[in-house]
Structure 1
Amino acid sequence: MPAKTVPPGLFALFMAFARMSLAGFGGVLVFARRAIVDDHRWMTADEFNETFALCHFLPGPNIVNLSMVFGSRLRGLAGGVAAFAGLLVPPTLIMTALAVLYAHFGELEVLRRTLAGVSCAAVGLLIAVVFRMMMPLLKRADAIALVLMAAVFVAIGVLRLPLQAVLLVAIPASIAVTVALRRKVAA
């Protein structure tokens, strides 16, 4: 259950996702988690992780899926559209203006070096959010979840196995483990 009982209005959803998208150079996930879980307390850390995990299985960019799923969860279809629009409209306008500028000044060496630095910062932000999302698993000492997560990482990141094949094994394994643990707790 989210900490707040009154869901945000459509304008609040739009503005929250607009702020996330404008802050998120190289990725919005860091800012989305901070805003949704820490700042507004619209979801718990576990709810955010579960919702974000669901968004991995939907077609399209994960953060776009998150905006639609999250907004719809709080305010129905209109909420999904408001969050989606907040996520995409401001950066689209900015990127259009920057594309025009880049077309004219893209050959400048200082611009190339600046863009290389921004990409390094984006990687750092992504690593930070991965560790932050792992904290609920570490706090619960959920060894099985950590082993499954590590196995998926090794399969995809190290062994370079196809994502679809790994998911065909990992999803049923995760569901089976979760069902077994819930039955054990209920008994």
Structure 2
Amino acid sequence: MPSPLPPPVPHRPRPASLADLFLAFTVLALQGFGGVLAVVQRELVERKRWLTQEEFVEDWAVAQIMPGPNVVNLSIMLGARWFGPAGALAALAGLLVLPLALVLLLAAFHARYAGHPAVAGALRGMAAVSAGLIAATALRLSSALAKNPLPLSWSAAIAAAAFVLLAWLRVPLVWVLPSLGGLGCTLAWRRLRP
């Protein structure tokens, strides 16, 4: 007797065109001064639904271990996934073109008005908002840990070790990432092995 067919895969939203991809990453970049993780997660997972929460966590993890800025790596990966090399370039251009122009204008403005107390206060306020956005995103992303092959206590121990090594002991990231990342990968591999 033949086995039943698997259920059909539901339609997954994705960018409609290269222009749609370019505009999405331009909007994303314009919202992300100071802390882009919260913005990227909200736009790609919650608003556009181009990725599931689990896919986002996996892709963001890969983007973090690659050299260069995380969101740039993610834009190239996603653009290439949906439209090949042209998509990678469109996503990267969307992420960089308009924000670069704005940063150059802001640099000129800052050079002229840096000593003004209102400008200094505004920059301190933006730093506080960015920290809050990052903390809120970390809480939202923690739901993906339920599907992690490692027990929550192991994941928390690795995260705590990373915090101690980086923040307190000031061990360079180039040593912490391969060692703790390698440990996490090895432990996960052993738990997934049949």
**TM-score category of the 2 structures, normalised to the smaller one:** 0.7 to 0.9
Q: Provide, for residues 112-146 of structure 1, a one-character-per-residue CA deviation record: whole Å limited to 9, x for no partner.
A: 21122112111211222222222211576644333
TM-score, normalised relative to structure 1: 0.86
Residue identity (%): 36
* Residue of structure 1 equivalent to 2:176: 166
Which of residues 45, 48, 53 in structure 1 aligns to 2:61?
A: 53
Q: 111-120 or 158-167: which moved more?
A: 158-167
Within a 5 Å distance, the mapping from 1:8-87 to structure 2 comes to 8-87=16-95
* Residue of structure 1 equivalent to 2:4: none
* Residue of structure 1 equivalent to 2:166: 156
Mark the runs of 5 or more structure 2 residues left unpaired by the alignment: 1-8
Mark the runs of 5 or more structure 1 residues left unpaired by the alignment: none
Aligned-partner SS, 1:41: coil
Q: 71-80 or 137-146: which moved more?
A: 137-146
Aligned-partner SS, 1:60: coil
Q: Provide, for residues 63-84 of structure 1, a one-character-per-residue CA deviation record: whole Å limited to 9, x for no partner.
A: 1111111211221111111111
> Is 1:118 matched with 2:126?
yes
Larger radius of gyration: 2
Question: Do the aligned partners of 2:36 and 2:71 also contact (CA within 8 Å) in 1?
Answer: yes
Distance in 1 separating the partners of 2:10 and 2:42: 14
TM-score, normalised relative to structure 2: 0.83
Deviation at 1:18, TM superposition (A): 0.9
Identify if the C-alpha distance between structure 1 residues 177 and 2 changes in structure 2 by more than 3 Å, giving closer, same or farther: farther
Which of residues 98, 102, 117 in structure 2 aligns to 1:94?
A: 102
Distance in 2 separating the partners of 1:40 and 1:97: 30
CA RMSD of aligned residues (A): 2.3
